[in-house]
Amino acid sequence: MKRLLTAISLLALTSLPALADPVKIGMITTLSGPPGYLGEQIRDGFQLAVEKEGGKLGGVDVEVVVEDDGLKPGNGLQIADKFMNEEGIKLITGIVFSNVAGAAVPEIVDNGAIYISPNAGPSNLAGASCNKNYFVVSWQNDALHEATGVAAKKLGYKTAVALAPNYQAGKDSIAGFKREFGGEVTEIYTALDQTDFASEMAQIRAAAPDVVFQFHPGGLGIAFLKQYQQAGLLGQIPMVLSEPSLDSVILGAVGDAAIGIKGTTHWAADFDNEASKELVSAWKAKYPDRPLTTYGQQGYDTARLIASAFAKTGGVDDMDALQAALKEANFDSTRGNFAFGNNQHPVQDWFLTEVVAGADGKPEIKTVEKLREAAGDIYAAECKM
Partner 1 sequence: MILVIEQILNGLQFGVMLFLLAAGLTLIFGIMGVINLAHGSLYMIGAYAGTWVAMETGSFWIGIPAALVAAALTGFAIETLVIRRLYTRDHLDQVLATFGLILIFNQSVTLIFGRQPLFTSLPGFFEGSVEIIPGLPYPTYRLLIIAVGLLVALGLYFLINRTRIGMLVRAGATNRDMVRALGVDIRLLYTIVFGLGALLAGLAGFMAAPILAVQVGMGEQILLVTFVVVVIGGVGSIRGAFVAGILLGVSDTLLRAFLPGLLRQVMTGPEADALGVGIASTGIYLLMVIVLLFRPKGLFPVGS
Residues lying near partner 1 in the complex (CB under 8 A) = 31-34, 36-37, 40, 166, 187-189, 191, 193, 195-196, 198-199, 202-203, 205-206, 219-220, 222-223, 226-227, 229-232, 249, 252-255, 290
State the DSSP H helix or E strand holding residue 20, giving kind and residue range, or none if neither. helix 2-20
Per-residue DSSP letter, 333: B
Kindly state the smallest distance separating residue 347's Cβ from partner 1, in Å: 29
Is 258 or 303 the residue whose CB approaches partner 1 more closely? 258
Q: Which of 384, 316, 372 is nearest to 344 (CA)?
A: 384
Is 234 or 306 the residue whose CB approaches partner 1 more closely? 234
Kindly state the smallest distance separating residue 188's Cβ from partner 1, in Å: 8
- Long-range Cβ contacts of 195-200 (<8 Å, 24+ apart): 195/34, 195/219, 195/220, 195/223, 196/223, 196/227, 197/163, 197/223, 197/224, 197/227, 197/228, 198/227, 198/231, 200/163
Kindly state the smallest distance separating residue 196's Cβ from partner 1, in Å: 6
Is 44 or 349 the residue whose CB approaches partner 1 more closely? 44
Type of residue found at 174: I
Type of residue found at 148: T
Is 68 or 349 the residue whose CB approaches partner 1 more closely? 68
- Residue 68 CA, distance from chain mean position: 16
Is 42 or 50 the residue whose CB approaches partner 1 more closely? 42
Total count of residues recorded for the chain: 385
Is 56 or 226 the residue whose CB approaches partner 1 more closely? 226
Kindly state the smallest distance separating residue 30's Cβ from partner 1, in Å: 10
| Cα–Cα dist 122/102, whole Å | 8
Kindly state the smallest distance separating residue 189's Cβ from partner 1, in Å: 5
Q: Which residues are CB-contacts of 176 (< 8 A; sequence separation ≥ 6)?
A: 141, 142, 143, 144, 145, 146, 148, 149
Kindly state the smallest distance separating residue 364's Cβ from partner 1, in Å: 17
Contact 267, 284 (CB under 8 A): no
Kindly state the smallest distance separating residue 354's Cβ from partner 1, in Å: 22
Is 111 or 194 the residue whose CB approaches partner 1 more closely? 194
Is 114 or 220 the residue whose CB approaches partner 1 more closely? 220
273 HSE (CA, 13 A, CB side): 10
**247-283 b/e with 16+ CB inside 10 Å = b?**
bbbbbeebeebbbebbbbbbbbbebeeebbeebbebb
Kindly state the smallest distance separating residue 26's Cβ from partner 1, in Å: 21
Facing residues of 363 across strands? 357
| Cα–Cα dist 292/248, whole Å | 7
Is 111 or 287 the residue whose CB approaches partner 1 more closely? 287
Is 78 or 195 the residue whose CB approaches partner 1 more closely? 195
Kindly state the smallest distance separating residue 44's Cβ from partner 1, in Å: 11
Kindly state the smallest distance separating residue 312's Cβ from partner 1, in Å: 35
Q: Which of 261, 172, 162, 242 is nearest to 204 (CA)?
A: 162
